[in-house]
Structure 1
Amino acid sequence: MSAAPEYRWAVTAPGAPLERIAVTREAPQGREVLLEVTHCGVCHSDVHFWEGFIDMGARKVPVAALGLETPYTLGHEIVGRVVATGPDATGCAPGDLRLVYPWIGCGDCADCAAGQDNACANPRTIGVRRSGGFADQVLVPDARYLFDIDGIDPALAATYACAGLTVYSAISKLLPMDPEAPLVMIGAGGLGLSALAILAARGHRNIVVVEPQEQARAGALAAGARAVVDPGPEGAAERLAQAAGGPIKAVLDLVNAPATAELALAVLARGGTLVMVGLYGGAISLPLGALPVRGLTIIGNYVGSPAELGAVLDLARAGALPPIPVTCRASHEVTGALTDLREGRVRGRIVLTDTAR
């Protein structure tokens, strides 16, 4: 008798409703671990890969150029229960509930050896290059990419694998700084609320949020922002400088669109740092002489390392991270979740669960 199939919600055409497809269940080999997916967050980068391209400004790069061929299964904010392990796997056992670190590298390069999988030039990212968590099960190459979440709500823990980890790593590139010095954060969606929680946990008290949506601005104030600014009306740079109340040396751009990058560069004081996080895409024209003259630093941040994920979980277990809004939806609603996220109708994070499978 053949084994029961595994089901995945797969992208079969750019922007089309995801299709539930059956695949042969995988048996873990070597150090691999097989998990039953219990929770999987829906991230804005999932929207880009669902749409089938990455906006690089002068051109839109199809995801096929990254090696993705339909059907492919997205989802990288994964919590699951171990169902089987390979003969060489250690550190977990069937029944364990674990958070997956998805940004795995090749395992052989200097970056991977240094624990910087996210910097690997040949990534094997779960939910991008390997089948992800919009599925019944997920196969993880090594138990070292699994994190114990005992004491943490698993739906919230799922968001830490990307949203929490990404902003923790990005914020680390701006700190330490005087906790009363203004730090400008652009965007108050799921990443923004995660960033506010982590900034509060790390002791920063003067956060000015730039956000066009009124409800999101109110949410940012409730989550600890000292001031909010609507970038829509004219004079946004002047109003932002006034709200900051002092030289702006740090900007965290969680959107990273042409308008947000231009605003960030316009308000940065001499010696300031811009950390670019969002994947909205596009391009800007940059006067190169301004960078050395103003002493500016521009840093791109791509998720974070396994050690940084461990640090985020330590903060959560200590009760230092205020929970962000999480809406749980049944797995079969994945296309609707992606659509709502694309259309800006999501506050916080949507997490798919296995309750309706």
Structure 2
Amino acid sequence: MRMRSYQVCQCGLPLQRSDGEVPQPQGAQVLLKVLAAGVCHSDLHIWDGYYEMGGGRQLNLIDRGIRLPLTMGHENVGEVIAVGPEATGVQVGDIRLAHPWIGCGDCPACRRNEENLCAKPRFLGVFAQGGYATHLLVPEGRHLFPIGQLTPQQAAPLACSGVTAYAALKKVQPLLATEPLVVIGAGGVGMMGIALARMMGARQVIAVDIDAAKREAALAAGATQAIDGQAADAVAQIQRATGGGAMAAIDFVGAGQTVDLALAAAAKGGHVVVVGLFGGAVNLPTPMLPMRALTLRGSYVGSHAEMAELLALVNAQGMPPVPIHTRPLDEVSHALDDLRAGHVVGRVVLAG
């Protein structure tokens, strides 16, 4: 049996197909035949080889500890086809979602069950080989979650898009039932955030995006209002829509301009959560933080516990109404190009 994968061999150049032997699981490892692999915007940063830090500065891929050649793909669902002699919790034939945010297991973050914040991560598709391939090797069975009634194509985006949005929403969850939520960015993760917010009890969700098609999609996903983020009076529109300023805003873009927009539109005592990795910098007068009692914080993917909570929520209430477009694995480079060009509404999932 042979394995096919698509790898970043040199940043900025097309992915290269690699053919080789299927790895055999050792110890506690589990081997999956990949059934579905979501295409995530953060893979564009890995493919490019850097993150924009603002002011002409970049965070280089190598500085993050990422090594090439790399098979990207961190939103994966597969069938268990082999297990190592020490593997537990799964058996051949199981269909499982691979939680990609795997830590070292020993550091303080891992000991408090926040492996997604590990300082020595082993994230699938980032620091370890991922799912833009026919097969995927997972270190231990505990990272594999049953998907219940979901199809592999439905479940795959939950591994990043879903759990990232869910973890960010939990940070403002006490406000969802009583305060309007502002969601900046209606890409794949933002749309997931809009839909999940409604499932988690948000009565009013205001979507902000510069793309008219994505604003329409946001309304279909559950947003109660959509605002053009490039409008000259975007801040005033958000303040009117929220009755004086946003108490809760989540920025799924993470550009300097979008964070500035969220902070400008926030109410006194407001909470701004930054999720996106687009890049840039924020110039915030420090007295404004205490004088306006603002909370500015980041949120990075999600924990094992949050993944389990999300799967339970979705299996109980149904999949969020986010469009999912399926493409063959061999079209992964084209799918990434379309994502970069802004042609994707919702999520692309590779299969086969």
Could you tell me how far apart the structure 1 residues matched to 2:225 and 2:178 are? 13
| 2:28–2:140 CA contact under 8 A, matched in 1 | yes
Deviates more, 1:57-66 or 1:41-50: 57-66
Could you tell me which residue of structure 2 aligns to residue 293 of structure 1? 291
Could you tell me which residue of structure 2 aligns to residue 23 of structure 1? 20
Could you tell me how far apart the structure 2 residues matched to 1:102 and 1:277 are? 17
Deviates more, 1:79-88 or 1:242-251: 242-251
Could you tell me which residue of structure 2 aligns to residue 317 of structure 1? 315
Could you tell me how far apart the structure 2 residues matched to 1:162 and 1:271 are? 29
Shift of 1:352: 0.3
- The one-letter amino acid of 2:234's match is A
Report how many aligned residue pairs link the two structures.
Answer: 351
Could you tell me which residue of structure 1 aligns to residue 337 of structure 2? 339
Could you tell me how far apart the structure 1 residues matched to 2:22 and 2:289 are? 53
1:28-177 to 2 correspondences below 5 Å: 28-58=25-55, 59-177=57-175
Shift of 1:231: 1.7
| 2:220–2:321 CA contact under 8 A, matched in 1 | no
Could you tell me how far apart the structure 1 residues matched to 2:130 and 2:89 are? 22
| 2:323–2:346 CA contact under 8 A, matched in 1 | yes
| 2:67–2:127 CA contact under 8 A, matched in 1 | no
Could you tell me which residue of structure 2 aligns to residue 350 of structure 1? 348
Of 1, 4, 9, the residue aligned with 1:7 is: 4
Structure 1 runs of 4+ off > 3 angstroms? none
Could you tell me how far apart the structure 2 residues matched to 1:182 and 1:134 are? 38
Shift of 1:226: 1.3
Could you tell me how far apart the structure 2 residues matched to 1:228 and 1:86 are? 50
Could you tell me how far apart the structure 1 residues matched to 2:223 and 2:93 are? 40
Could you tell me how far apart the structure 1 residues matched to 2:89 and 2:229 are? 48
Of 233, 239, 242, the residue aligned with 1:241 is: 239
Q: For 1:83-104, what per-residue CA distance to the aligned partner results, in whole angstroms no more than 9, with x for missing partners? A: 1111111111111110000000
- The one-letter amino acid of 1:149's match is I
Shift of 1:54: 1.3
Could you tell me which residue of structure 1 aligns to residue 217 of structure 2? 219
Is residue 330 of structure 1 aligned with residue 318 of structure 2? no
Of 276, 279, 297, the residue aligned with 1:281 is: 279
- The one-letter amino acid of 1:29's match is Q
- The one-letter amino acid of 2:32's match is L
Deviates more, 1:18-27 or 1:210-219: 18-27
SS in structure 2 of the partner of residue 208 of structure 1: strand
| 2:176–2:203 CA contact under 8 A, matched in 1 | no
Shift of 1:163: 0.5
| 1:201–1:321 CA contact under 8 A, matched in 2 | no
Deviates more, 1:259-268 or 1:106-115: 106-115
Shift of 1:180: 4.0
| 2:51–2:279 CA contact under 8 A, matched in 1 | yes
Structure 2: unaligned runs, 5 residues or longer: none
Could you tell me how far apart the structure 2 residues matched to 1:182 and 1:150 are? 32
- The one-letter amino acid of 1:282's match is G
Identity fraction in percent: 45
Could you tell me how far apart the structure 2 residues matched to 1:246 and 1:290 are? 17
Deviates more, 1:67-76 or 1:278-287: 67-76
Q: Kindly tell me: are residues 240 and 63 of structure 1, through their superposed partners in 2, closer, same or farther at Cα, counting changes over 3 Å?
A: same
Shift of 1:69: 3.0
TM-score norm. by structure 1 comes to: 0.95
Could you tell me which residue of structure 2 aligns to residue 185 of structure 1? 183
Could you tell me how far apart the structure 1 residues matched to 2:217 and 2:176 are? 24
| 1:187–1:254 CA contact under 8 A, matched in 2 | yes
| 2:76–2:97 CA contact under 8 A, matched in 1 | yes
Shift of 1:274: 0.5
Could you tell me how far apart the structure 1 residues matched to 2:319 and 2:351 are? 22
Q: For 1:69-124, what per-residue CA distance to the aligned partner results, in whole angstroms no more than 9, with x for missing partners? A: 32211000000111111111111111111000000000112221222110111100
Q: For 1:124-147, what per-residue CA distance to the aligned partner results, in whole angstroms no more than 9, with x for missing partners? A: 000001000001111111100000
- The one-letter amino acid of 1:7's match is R
| 2:154–2:319 CA contact under 8 A, matched in 1 | no
SS in structure 2 of the partner of residue 176 of structure 1: helix
Could you tell me how far apart the structure 1 residues matched to 2:318 and 2:333 are? 33
Shift of 1:246: 3.9
- The one-letter amino acid of 1:34's match is L
Is residue 231 of structure 1 aligned with residue 246 of structure 2? no
Let me know the Cα RMSD of the aligned residues: 1.2
